[in-house]
């Protein structure tokens, strides 16, 4: 640890608001916590009572937005103000991708953090909001390293994973169907020739088996080579990787150096149980967002409490078992129609 104190006060030591340290500070204070979607003041109070470290104020939870279709926009300020007045914990709210005017309005209302969210209908198909221009911190969704670093380059102080809201049952259903009747079209080959005799068949099988063995062997050798090779990229490799995933190279370098994103990263999308929370926390996220998972279940207070505790005790299997007991039905009554549109693909064209 070196000397000195890096701080962005001006020369006279006066206070500085809205610096990146201050913006990311709120995200850091939320770590190890659960942020809950709420659609009214009553739900917000339940969230605070259950130990949520912040609430996300919106008019409809993402699962309902998907169900209703149409255009979804920033919530009515009246609702947001009611929620802000109802609780003493931070209040987040969403704006449409690229809608800097909605962001300015939310900043004027005094919300603690803005979620530039793919869950609402994108307002700009080319550009995200220039988040550096704002004093209020932003959280953005990302599916992969490239997206995450691009949002951070634009000024995001926090990242969350993009999940598909309210849809795990759908996914499981469709995966199950695929498993039972796999098509494997890519494996079909048109063959010409006569019906082979038994002898020919046996010879062919032997030949193919030998070939298979040889291929297995070469794979094993190649994997050993890969393991030996130094897995980290050197500087020139970083340059071309940055170009490949379309991100600024200095951000990529920083991420490579610290072994993680340079901002707080939460999981979001479809979390509904203590086990879900533990899974994501063990995979290395700093905290979780929960949307329809709580208030659409049939015992919201209990589930909310259990999921908050699961973030703290995510490594304690016995505790998680206790917390998972007798929670009632998860996410009752969510539509499971075909996913007409996947939101995770929503990002500006100008990547």
Partner 1 sequence: MLNIMNIGVLACQGAFAEHLVALKHVVQDLELSFHLVEVRDSSQLDSDLRGLIIPGGESTTLNIFFGQEAFLSKLKQWMCSTNPPPVVWGTCAGLIVLSDQVEHEKTGGQLEIGGLAVTTSRNFFGRQNKSFEQKLDLLTEDLVECYPYDKSPNFPGIFIRAPGIQAIKPSQNVRVLAELRGYPGLPNPSAVAVEQGSLMACSFHPELSKDLRFHAYFVRKVLKSSLPGKL
Which lies closer to partner 1 via its Cβ, residue 33 or residue 166? 33
CB of 120 to partner 1, least distance (A): 21
Comparing CA positions, the residue from 238, 225, 251 lying closest to residue 147 is: 251
**Structure tokens that stand for 182 in this block:** 């796999």
**Window 53 to 72, contacts with partner 1 (CB under 8 A):** 53-54
Segment near partner 1 (CB under 8 A); pick from 81-89, 169-177, 196-204, 335-343: 81-89
CB of 7 to partner 1, least distance (A): 4
Distance of CA 270 to the CA centre of its chain: 10
Query: Does residue 136 touch partner 1 according to CB under 8 A?
Result: yes
**Structure tokens that stand for 18 in this block:** 């809205």
Query: Does residue 19 touch partner 1 according to CB under 8 A?
Result: yes
Which lies closer to partner 1 via its Cβ, residue 54 or residue 331? 54
Which lies closer to partner 1 via its Cβ, residue 44 or residue 165? 44
CA–CA separation, 69 and 90 (whole Å) = 29
Query: Does residue 245 touch partner 1 according to CB under 8 A?
Result: no
Query: Does residue 112 touch partner 1 according to CB under 8 A?
Result: yes
Which lies closer to partner 1 via its Cβ, residue 50 or residue 331? 50
Query: Does residue 87 touch partner 1 according to CB under 8 A?
Result: yes
* Coil, helix or strand at residue 119: coil
Query: Does residue 166 touch partner 1 according to CB under 8 A?
Result: no
Angle at 256 between CA 255 and CA 257, to 5 degrees: 90
Binding-site member from 51, 79, 145, 336 for partner 1 (CB under 8 A): 51
Nearest 5°: phi and psi at 151?
-65, -40
Residue 272's Cβ-count burial label (10 Å; 0-12, 13-18, 19+) is buried
**Cα Rg, the chain, nearest whole Å:** 25
What are the catalytic residues?
94
CA–CA separation, 293 and 307 (whole Å) = 10
Site of tokens 């299997």: 317
What sign results for the dihedral spanned by CA atoms 231, 232, 236, 238?
Answer: positive
Query: Does residue 282 touch partner 1 according to CB under 8 A?
Result: no
Segment near partner 1 (CB under 8 A); pick from 104-112, 122-130, 147-155, 216-224: 104-112
Query: Does residue 8 touch partner 1 according to CB under 8 A?
Result: yes
CA–CA separation, 344 and 325 (whole Å) = 32
Query: Does residue 302 touch partner 1 according to CB under 8 A?
Result: no
Query: Does residue 11 touch partner 1 according to CB under 8 A?
Result: no
H/E segment holding residue 220: helix 198-228
Query: Does residue 259 touch partner 1 according to CB under 8 A?
Result: no
Task: Write out the residues near partner 1 by the rule CB under 8 A.
Answer: 1-9, 13-19, 21-22, 25-26, 28-33, 45, 48-54, 87-90, 107, 110-113, 135-137, 305, 308-309, 311-313, 316
């Amino acid at each position: 640890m070196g000397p000195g104190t890096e701080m962005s006060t001006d020369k006279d030591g006066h206070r500085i608001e809205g610096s990146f340290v201050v913006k990311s500070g709120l995200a850091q204070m939320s770590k190890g916590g659960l942020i809950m979607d709420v659609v009214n003041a009553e739900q917000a109070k339940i969230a605070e009572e259950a130990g949520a470290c912040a609430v996300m104020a919106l008019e409809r939870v993402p699962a309902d937005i998907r169900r209703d279709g149409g255009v979804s926009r920033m919530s009515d300020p009246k609702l947001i103000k009611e929620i802000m007045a109802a609780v003493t914990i931070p209040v987040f709210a969403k704006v449409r991708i690229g809608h800097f005017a909605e962001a300015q309005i939310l900043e004027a209302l005094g919300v603690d953090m803005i979620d530039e969210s793919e869950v609402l209908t994108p307002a700009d198909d080319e550009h995200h909001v220039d988040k550096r221009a704002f004093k209020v911190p932003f959280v953005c969704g990302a599916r992969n390293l490239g997206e995450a670093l691009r949002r951070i380059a634009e000024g995001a102080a926090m990242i969350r994973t993009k999940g598909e809201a309210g849809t795990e049952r759908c996914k499981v259903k469709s995966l199950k169907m695929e498993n039972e009747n796999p098509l494997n079209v890519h494996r079909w080959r048109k063959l010409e020739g006569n019906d082979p005799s038994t002898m020919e068949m046996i010879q062919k099988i032997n030949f193919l088996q030998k070939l298979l063995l040889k291929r297995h062997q070469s794979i094993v050798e190649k994997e050993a080579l890969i393991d030996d090779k130094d897995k980290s990229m050197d500087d020139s490799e970083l340059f071309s990787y940055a170009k490949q995933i379309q991100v600024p190279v200095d951000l990529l370098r920083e991420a490579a150096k610290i072994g993680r994103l340079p901002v707080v990263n939460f999981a979001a999308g479809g979390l509904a149980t203590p086990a879900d929370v533990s899974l994501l926390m063990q995979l290395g996220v700093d905290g979780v967002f929960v949307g329809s998972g709580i208030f659409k279940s049939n015992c919201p207070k209990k589930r909310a409490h259990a999921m908050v505790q699961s973030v703290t005790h995510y490594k304690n299997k016995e505790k998680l078992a206790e917390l998972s007991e007798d929670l009632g039905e998860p996410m009752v009554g969510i539509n499971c129609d075909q996913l007409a549109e996947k939101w995770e693909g929503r990002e500006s064209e100008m990547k």
